[in-house]
A = this chain, B = another copy of it.
Amino acid sequence: MKRALYLGRFNPPHYGHVEAIKYILAQEDIDEVIILIGSGEKAYYPKNPFTGGERVEMIGAIIREYFDISKFYIQAIPDSNRNSIWPAHAIDLVPPFDVIFTNNPLVQELFKDLTTKEIRSIPLNNRKEWSGKEIRRRMLENENWREFVPPAVVSLIEKYDGINRIKKINQDDY
């Protein structure tokens, strides 16, 4: 049996991520999943409003609600700020793994060129609304976003006063 790495920025986590994790666990040869939260040190940016720690807590709530937590590792890691070394940076900070699940063409290219790890894609559904970018836009413009995000995540975002944060950081015009 193999351990999978699944990565994203999760700003915030939404049902698209839930579906992706279900898909990964449904693979016959996969029994454990590492969820790597990228750009973990970036927060309070319009594209990255939540801290790494908040994203760990949100993903943790999702895993505890929908999955068997004993099969998971959840970690936020900072950016390496250098593409060519990113795979080595990630390999260093998370438990050993066998397969990386990602649709990101850059990440696929970087792993292909530095490592011999197996790379697999994930089918995506409802890409228009199950999208961090779209959900952040809706939060900013007071449109509905709660239906795209699991209830436990909605509660945490309210605990963080996340909608106000997003509105404030979008006023910054540096």
Contact = CB atoms under 8 A, between A and B. Distances in A.
Interface string A76-97: 1010101111011101111110
A37 to B, nearest CB: 10
Given A56-B93, A106-B168, 9 more contacts: A41-B92, A44-B84, A44-B110, A60-B95, A82-B92, A85-B92, A87-B88, A88-B89, A91-B114
Interface residues of A, number: 50
Contacts of A52: 92-94
Nearest to A89: B85
Interface in A127-147: none
Contacts of A108: 168
23 contacts: A43-B92, A44-B83, A44-B109, A52-B92, A52-B93, A53-B91, A53-B92, A56-B75, A57-B95, A57-B96, A73-B74, A74-B75, A82-B92, A84-B91, A84-B92, A85-B89, A88-B88, A104-B174, A105-B168, A105-B172, A106-B168, A106-B172, A116-B116
Contacts of A172: 104-106
A103 B78 CA distance: 27
Contact of A169 (B75, B106, B168): B106
A52 B41 CA distance: 17
